[in-house]
A and B are shown apart, each in its own frame.
Chain A
Amino acid sequence: MLDLVQSILDGVLFGATYALIGIGFTLVFGVMHKLNLAYAAASVGGAYCGLLVMGLVHGAAPPWAVFLGAFLAGGVIGYLVYLTCFHFIPLTSPLATLMATVGMLLLIDEIIVHVTDGMPRNYPAVFDDVMLQAGEITLRGDLLLVFAVSVVCMAGLLVLLYRTRLGLATRAVSQQPVAAELCGIRVTRVNAATFVITGLLGGIAGALIGASVGTLSPLLTTPLTVKGLIVTVIGGLGSIPGAIVAGLLVGGFENLFQMYRGVTERDLYVMLLLFVFLVFRPGGIFTHGAKRD
């Protein structure tokens, strides 16, 4: 029983990173009604750029500087993805945009492999020697930090979306792009801003994943893409609270099945969870079963 609670808790804490990735997918979908398949790769790429900070000062950089580097680099990569995959491709060919983001995913992956010679890199861990005891249950310090930073990022995003002019414009474009444009909102600029914001979040998510796993490798991109997409669908496309809850849910669920069924079968059960949601809740966690798209 204790093992059960412990593994679910670890999973939920780590699930915060899935929630961040899921938010990235869902925000771009909400605003542009398009899928950015390069997002998880861009996040991992941002995390790698964070390591460059380490290289600049010959390995003496404090972990927060690495995180900051990842955060900023994520934003830059997000803008580049927007420019290469969305800006110049006409809105009438959604398949071309989808394929371009796949190309971008491969490109980012290969750049990482090329620069690092395909070797996994160590990532600076924070608080990995701290263990909090709550009764019989142990809380890993690094996972708690992952969770805390994710919560701060989500809170920041919600403030940005609901308390600023940019957020208002973003929500307007996501509801009615044509009407928003008629009101004088520059849709392309809002779209670009969305990519920068999701990129910033992705950079942090990548750095957090690197810090809690301990190493960073380009092999992370595919599972992260899949998990992020699953989180997006379970949470409901375009729903940020849904993505947060779904991320934590998938994290806990995955760790539970890792304990009971082993690491090779773990993801199979996550897929089954997705299908359960698709059958009974196709609109996501927070909508009623009847609404479908």
Chain B
Amino acid sequence: MDFYYGLAQIIGVHTLLGLSAYIVLLTGQVSLAQAGFQAIGAYTAAMLTVLAGWALVPALAMSALVGALVACAVGFPALRVRGLILVVATLAFGEGVRLFFFNFDYQVARGGVRVGPLGGEGFRQIRYFPEHGWTTLEVMLFIWAIVVAVMAALWWFDRSRYGAVLRAVGEDELAAQSVGINLTAIKVSAMTVGGAIAGVAGGLFAHYTTHIEHTNFNILVATFALAYPIVGGLASVFGTLAAVVFVQGFLIEGLRFLGDWRNLLFGALIVLSMNLRPHGLLDAPTLARLKRLVGR
């Protein structure tokens, strides 16, 4: 049973990561920096609980705050450029963060062992959950409580004026600007919210894996973060969740019996799903149909 709880933890954290890219994508911006924000959140939360002895919840709040601040700081200069240059700029930022942690040493002796991040070897002994006697089920429930809260918040955003403004910017910048929307404020705010969500995802990730290193936050993770909302569709937050379940649950875990062939099928299925459903698994017409089914 613990296996399924573990899988649910992974799906939960990846959903958060996908949602952090989702809100940025709503404004039409493609950001490959989400893995970088996640790395910052992960190292922040882990250093606070392991080195400073904080409790988990304030540490997670702190990693959300730091993620948001960094995302805001990246947003201003990066959003001067648009479209594909932004893709490359955020990609370079994400890689820069990864390389920073690859070269980052900060170790403190604690109970005869040296703990803390150590360059390429990463950050070991993030033992908050085992030390405080959390079971796998409890960790899973904790992660999912946060996922549900974030999804509810974003779902509510979507129904508010703010969500409409985000989508307006994403659909047509010029039209949005001409009705008096401040493009920079909207894009930077979306980036900031995305950074906060990615920061929390990182903090949770660091604590359930107990060991983080720079390769956990490479380009592949950044493209995955972007892949979830695109494969799932931007019509609603549930698209991201559906894509994470499809990718993590079906493509990665469900196809494990195929052995080596699974990895081959993985890329091919992404290509195929984009060809067959260019607007995502849960696009607007499908969503409307589902709503009718439920409503009846």
Contacts and interface: CB of A to CB of B under 8 A. Distances in A.
Interface stretch (B50-58, B92-100, B121-129, B151-159): B92-100
A89 B271 CA distance: 10
A68 interface: no
A197 to B, nearest CB: 20
B120 A264 contact: yes
Interface stretch (A58-66, A70-78, A104-112, A188-196): A104-112
B271 A84 contact: yes
A96 B25 CA distance: 12
Q: Is the interface of B mostly helix, strand, loop or mixed?
A: helix
B96 A271 contact: yes
A21 interface: no
| Most central of B87, B268, B274, B279 by chain A CB within 10 Å | B274
Given A96-B279, A105-B267, A106-B266, A265 B227 contact: no
B130 interface: no
A186 interface: no
Interface in A252-290: 264-265, 267-268, 271-272, 274-275, 278-279, 282
B92 A114 contact: no
A96 B270 contact: no
Given A93-B279, A99-B230, A111 B264 contact: yes
B265 to A, nearest CB: 9
Contacts, number: 133
A265 B274 contact: no
B274 A107 contact: no
Contact of A278 (B85, B218, B226, B264): B85
Nearest to A41: B267
| Most central of A35, A233, A264 by chain B CB within 10 Å | A233
B296 interface: no
A84 B268 CA distance: 9
Contacts of B102: 264
Interface residues of A, number: 48
A85 B278 CA distance: 11
Interface string A84-116: 110011100101111110111111111101100
A264 B105 CA distance: 13
The bracket for how many chain B residues form the interface is 35 or more
Interface in A220-240: 222, 225-226, 229-230, 232-233, 237
B274 A110 contact: no
A96 B276 CA distance: 10
Interface in B70-89: 77-78, 80-85, 87-89
17 contacts: A37-B223, A85-B274, A89-B275, A102-B270, A104-B267, A106-B263, A106-B267, A114-B264, A226-B95, A226-B219, A229-B88, A271-B96, A271-B99, A275-B89, A275-B92, A278-B80, A278-B85
Given A35-B84, A109-B267, A222-B220, 20 more contacts: A102-B226, A106-B270, A107-B264, A110-B266, A111-B264, A114-B263, A114-B264, A222-B219, A226-B219, A233-B85, A233-B88, A233-B89, A268-B99, A271-B93, A274-B89, A275-B93, A279-B77, A282-B85, A292-B81, A292-B82
Interface of A: 29, 35, 37, 84-85, 88-90, 93, 95-100, 102-111, 113-114, 222, 225-226, 229-230, 232-233, 237, 264-265, 267-268, 271-272, 274-275, 278-279, 282, 292-293
